[in-house]
Structure formats: structure tokens, C-alpha cells
């Protein structure tokens, strides 16, 4: 009996020393803190060498999808008595011109595979800064006595500061949309678990559920299916059997009306303050974000 106790203590020490990530680090952290009251969902259409070009039709249907996603999220909040108003806006050039910037590797998934999670996310951060600078050059800066009140935004952080001011919101969810309609890739949220750089999401598909999933990552939600962040098979099995219809599972093209925000996700996004001990194991995964 004592031996077993000793063995269990040893196991606990070992797992404590193994590098692990606690998804609670994403709660109330970085740009998107509290999913309530007024928030802005700002999205950008990005073309790359390897993704399908954004046609006018694709862009218009994506804008529709974003409105569907925002309405669904607001309804979920209302059902829990949480006030939520999602403002939406997007960047588009003249005649549906998009921003062109190739992905670091051929796809989002390949970037993470080849460069690893930490370096891959740094590459995406620079990619996002470049795109933000292009947007920043086009935004209108107010003048006072003939002098611009601020400089044109030249990276993600400055763009978000500009949008915060412009829309009078605290939280700005920045979504970069890439058109992967005809091939398979992953969507990914970047910089959500630390404060070293500004968080944003890359969304691969224009389905409302995929957009809402990426948006919730920025407010602290963690994956409930296998992903670069959710790795333990045991935890994936638990998550998918406890929350088969949660928005944070692998939703891809599933229609929003058959999905929900379950107990775990509601806790992660700050809609509830307590979590059943049954699901505590889902708060962590064993990998590292340290360089």
C-alpha cells in the first residue's frame, strides 16, 4: 500500500516537472479578455500563393457567415444572461481587392509541422504584422489643427489600438481569413496563452461554426478535439464524449444550430466561474510554448 502511495507521489512529481501548458492562461488574457458587452470582430481577407483566390462570391458569403456566427454567439450569451453585442467590420480594398501575403510554408498545418509550434507561431505573428501594416496604411486618421492625431498603424498591436478607439470597444478579435475551400488545412489561434505578442486567429473555412470557433479561442476557449494544442488521446476521448456538440470540438462545416457552448467552454470564456472536477484534466496539456 505504501509502495503504491510512493509510486503515485513519484508520478505526480514527474508530471509536475514535465513541461505543460495550462489553458487557463488564456482566460482574461491578451487583447480579448471578457466576452461580454461590446466587442469587435474584425476580419481580413488574405490571398496566398497556395490558397484559392477570394472571389467576390466567396467574400460575400463569408460576410454572411460572420453575421450568422455573431448572431448565434449573442443568442448563446443571452440564454445565459450575459450581455453581448458583437460589432463586425472588415478590411477590403477597392473592387473586392484582398491583401496578398504568402503563408510561411505551403499551409498553416505545414508551417506548424516544419517549424514547430513556437517558431511557427512567431512566423505567423510576423505574417500578421505585415498584413496589419497594409491595412494601417489605408485607414483614415483624424486630424486636429491639420496635424494627424496618431501615426498610421504599422503592426497588429497598433491596428488593434486604432480599432479599439474607432469602435469604442475593449476587446478586438482579429481574424485573418484564408480560402481553403478546395483543400484541407487547419485553423489556428496564435498568441492566446501568453502576452509576448498580440493574439489573433487564422480561419481556413468560411463556415459560421469555424468562424465562431476561432473567435472563441481569442476569449480563452481551448480545443476539445485533437489539435496542435490538444494532444493527449485520453483527454480528447474524455472531451469528445463529454461535449460531443461543443463549438470547440472539430466543427468544420457542422451547422451552428446543432452545436452548443458546453460547461467547459463556458468556464474558459469567463461565462461561469467554477468548473466540475470531472473536467479539470482538460485544463492542461503536456507540451511547451517556451523557446
Count the neighbouring beta carbons within 10 Å of the beta carbon of residue 254. Answer: 17
Find the part of the chain contacting Zn ion (CB under 5 A) among 50-58, 92-100, 133-141, 219-227: 219-227
Least Å distance, CB 249 to Zn ion, is: 9
Q: Which is nearer to Zn ion, 153 or 214 (CB)?
A: 214
Segment interacting with Zn ion (CB under 5 A) among 25-33, 124-132, 220-228, 235-243: 220-228
Sign of CA dihedral 89, 91, 96, 99: negative
Residue 58 binds to Zn ion (criterion: CB under 5 A): no
223 binds Zn ion (CB under 5 A): yes
> Which segment (23-31, 190-198, 223-231, 268-276) binds Zn ion by CB under 5 A?
223-231
Backbone phi and psi for residue 220, each to the nearest 5 degrees, phi listed first: 110, -5
> In this complex, which beta carbon is closest to Zn ion, that of residue 158 or of residue 213?
213
Q: Name the 3-class secondary structure at 163.
A: helix
Q: Is 57 exposed, middle or buried (0-12, 13-18, 19+ CB in 10 A)?
A: exposed
Residues written for the chain? 291
CA distances from 138 to 145, 153, 176, 219, 260 (A): 21, 9, 17, 28, 38
Least distance CB 8 / Zn ion (angstroms): 33
Q: For residues 38 and 90, is the Cβ–Cβ distance under 8 A?
A: no
Report the residue closest to Zn ion, judged by CB.
Answer: 223
Number of H helices, E strands in the chain: 7, 10
Closer Cβ to Zn ion, 159 or 189, answer by number:
189
Total residues contacting Zn ion (rule CB under 5 A)? 1
Residue 285 is a binding residue for Zn ion (CB under 5 A): no
CB of 37 to Zn ion, least distance (A): 24
Give me the residues that bind Zn ion (CB under 5 A), please.
223
Amino acid at each position: 500500500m505504501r509502495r503504491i502511495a510512493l509510486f503515485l507521489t513519484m508520478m505526480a512529481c514527474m508530471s509536475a516537472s514535465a513541461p505543460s501548458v495550462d489553458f487557463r492562461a488564456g482566460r482574461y488574457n491578451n487583447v480579448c479578455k471578457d466576452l461580454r458587452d461590446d466587442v469587435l470582430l474584425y476580419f481580413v481577407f488574405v490571398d496566398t500563393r497556395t490558397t484559392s483566390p477570394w472571389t467576390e462570391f466567396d467574400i460575400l458569403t463569408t460576410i454572411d457567415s460572420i453575421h450568422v456566427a455573431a448572431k448565434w454567439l449573442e443568442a448563446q450569451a443571452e440564454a445565459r444572461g450575459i450581455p453581448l453585442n458583437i460589432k463586425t467590420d472588415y478590411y477590403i480594398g477597392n473592387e473586392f481587392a484582398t491583401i496578398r501575403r504568402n503563408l510561411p510554408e505551403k499551409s498553416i498545418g505545414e508551417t506548424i509541422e516544419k517549424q514547430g509550434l513556437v517558431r511557427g507561431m512567431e512566423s505567423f505573428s510576423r505574417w500578421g504584422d505585415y498584413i496589419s501594416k497594409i491595412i494601417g496604411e489605408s485607414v483614415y486618421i483624424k486630424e486636429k489643427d491639420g496635424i494627424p492625431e496618431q501615426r498610421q498603424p504599422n503592426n497588429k498591436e497598433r491596428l488593434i489600438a486604432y480599432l479599439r478607439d474607432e469602435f469604442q470597444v475593449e476587446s478586438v478579435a482579429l481574424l485573418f481569413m484564408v480560402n481553403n475551400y478546395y483543400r484541407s488545412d487547419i485553423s489556428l489561434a496564435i498568441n492566446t496563452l501568453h502576452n509576448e505578442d498580440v493574439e489573433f486567429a487564422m480561419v481556413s473555412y468560411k463556415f459560421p461554426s469555424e468562424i465562431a470557433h476561432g473567435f472563441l479561442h481569442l476569449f480563452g476557449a481551448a480545443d476539445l478535439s485533437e489539435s496542435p494544442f490538444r494532444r493527449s488521446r485520453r483527454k480528447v476521448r474524455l472531451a469528445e464524449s463529454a461535449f460531443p456538440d461543443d463549438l470547440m470540438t472539430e466543427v468544420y462545416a457542422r451547422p451552428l444550430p446543432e452545436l452548443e457552448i458546453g460547461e467547459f467552454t463556458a468556464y474558459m470564456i469567463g461565462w461561469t466561474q467554477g468548473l466540475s472536477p470531472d473536467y479539470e484534466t482538460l485544463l492542461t496539456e503536456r507540451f511547451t510554448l517556451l523557446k
